[in-house]
Amino acid sequence: MPRPGSDLGSDDTGCPILHVDMDAFYASVELRERPELRGVPVIVGAPGARGVVLSATYEARRFGVHSAMPMTRARRLCPRAVIIPPSRGKYSEVSRGVMEIFHTFTPEVEPIASDEAFLDVGGARKRLGPPAAIAAMIRERVVREHGITCSVGVANSKFVAKLASQHCKPDGLMVVPADRVVDFLHPLPVAALWGVGERTEQSLVRLGIKTVGDLARVPVETLQRDLGQAIGAHLAALAWGRDERRVTPNAPDKSIGAEETFATDVGDPVKIRKELLRLSERVAARLREGAHAGRTVSVKLRRADFTTISRSRTLREPTDVARVIYTTACDLYAAADLDGIRLRLVGVRVENLRPAAEVTRQLGLGERETGWREAEQAVDRATRRFGRDAVLPASLVRPSFDEIDL
């Protein structure tokens, strides 16, 4: 049922697009095993001083806590919150199950995160009924099969459907009829438009534009003059509910990466390279899991003063091998000339992806196959059977000699 005060109507004619978004996903997954915490402020995230909030229940959000907030600030805002360290394998399992539910209703599913997706159910009407009924069935199955709730927006475009799901959270369903889109959009703050970040919002407010309706009444030429040709035209279209983007099933990943914020700033190159190895292993495993390979390896190095340095290198051929990614990452770290400089965060990312099946390994004259890829595939099989961290590089299992305090 739509949440009180959020229903514009139940006419879903011409509204084949659903945006399904899990409610406080990571926190909700944790509460399945700790039902005694329901109704209590709960924060999921690394509890250390450098940790950040991964998810927060709506009870915690009332205190101003939100995802990506530093844990130290979240604790100040909500000192009575229960902190739960994340258990990522559990979230991936639930995410896969939820996406499988979506695919039983339509093949037109576009995941945009582990806990949300767009669905085009236009082709399922004859078999399953109108879009709002399909949305209700999806919500019921997610609760029944996974013990968590989701909110669903139903509309004639991706943009409006996503806004509707946000508007009816938590545990809501909202239909924005095709002939009521403008009524829904125009009272909203201008920051609700995709592409309006903090700076753009400040620029618009200085022009007296505070709501979507205010922006809709500004000539597009004026917006293009003040904001640029592309963004001006983009915002003018959205303000009138025009969004021509289709739901794209199985949209290819543009990049795969991982990063880690140290508990305390680290300046020891040995420890930094060890973290680069850990991240390279993680990225390579995700590449192989998704049947991807990539040509461009990049590193992100954030200093203690929050200055961030990025370096990248394009390889001769695509790879999904951790050893290749790690070696390249170490070379990029060395090229950044940061030895002895204390770092707050390091990250590794592989870009320029393509299907791994399309990649043919070409050996140079006299070059011998290293066997690293086959070894890492064997590790993948062990991990699937015995769990993450079942097999690790030796340097990640025990301290190296130069780290032992003798």
Cα 331 to its chain centre, rounded Å, is 28
- Looking at residue 383, its pLDDT comes to 56
The structural domains of the chain, with segments of one domain joined by +, span 1-185, 186-239, 255-403
What are the distances in angstroms from CA 340 to CA 76, 270, 271? Answer: 33, 10, 11
Report the percentage of the chain scoring pLDDT > 90.
Answer: 64
Q: Could you tell me which residues come within 8 angstroms of residue 304 by beta carbon, excluding any fewer than 6 positions away?
A: 265, 342, 343, 344
Tell me: domain 255-403, CATH 3.40.50.360, correct? no
Lowest mean pLDDT among 150-154, 253-257, 332-336: 253-257
How many Å apart are CA 273 and CA 44, to the nearest integer? 28
- Looking at residue 254, its pLDDT comes to 79
- Looking at residue 3, its pLDDT comes to 45
- Looking at residue 403, its pLDDT comes to 42
Q: Which contiguous run of DSSP H or E holds residue 55?
A: strand 53-56
How many Å apart are CA 216 and CA 238, to the nearest integer? 9
Of the residues 59, 108, 110, 116, which is catalytic?
116
Confidence of residue 374 (pLDDT cuts 50, 70, 90): low
Q: Would the annotation count 339 as a binding residue?
A: no
Confidence of residue 23 (pLDDT cuts 50, 70, 90): very high
- Looking at residue 5, its pLDDT comes to 39
Lowest mean pLDDT among 38-47, 115-124, 223-232, 385-394: 385-394
Considering Cα of 91, then 92, then 97, then 101, what sign does the dihedral take? positive
Please give the structure tokens belonging to residue 232.
Answer: 């001006």
Residue 128: Cβ within 10 Å count: 15
Cβ atoms of 215 and 204 closer than 8 Å: yes
Q: Would the annotation count 226 as a binding residue?
A: no
Q: What is the pLDDT of residues 108-153, one digit of tens each?
A: 999 998 999 999 999 998 899 999 999 999 999 999 999 999 999 9
Tell me: domain 186-239, CATH 3.40.640.10, correct? no
- Looking at residue 1, its pLDDT comes to 37
What is the CA angle 359-360-366, rounded to 5?
A: 140
Tell me: domain 1-185, CATH 2.30.30.100, correct? no
How crowded is the C-beta side of 216, counted as CA atoms within 13 Å? 19
Confidence of residue 267 (pLDDT cuts 50, 70, 90): very high
201 is catalytic: no
Q: What is the maximal distance between C-alpha atoms in the chain?
A: 75
Q: Is 329 a residue whose pLDDT tops 50?
A: yes
- Looking at residue 360, its pLDDT comes to 58
Intra-chain end-to-end CA distance of the chain, in Å: 66
- Looking at residue 362, its pLDDT comes to 53
Report the percentage of the chain scoring pLDDT > 70.
Answer: 85
Q: What is the pLDDT of residues 281-324, one digit of tens each?
A: 999 988 988 889 999 999 999 998 878 899 999 999 999 999 99
How many Å apart are CA 132 and CA 138, to the nearest integer? 10
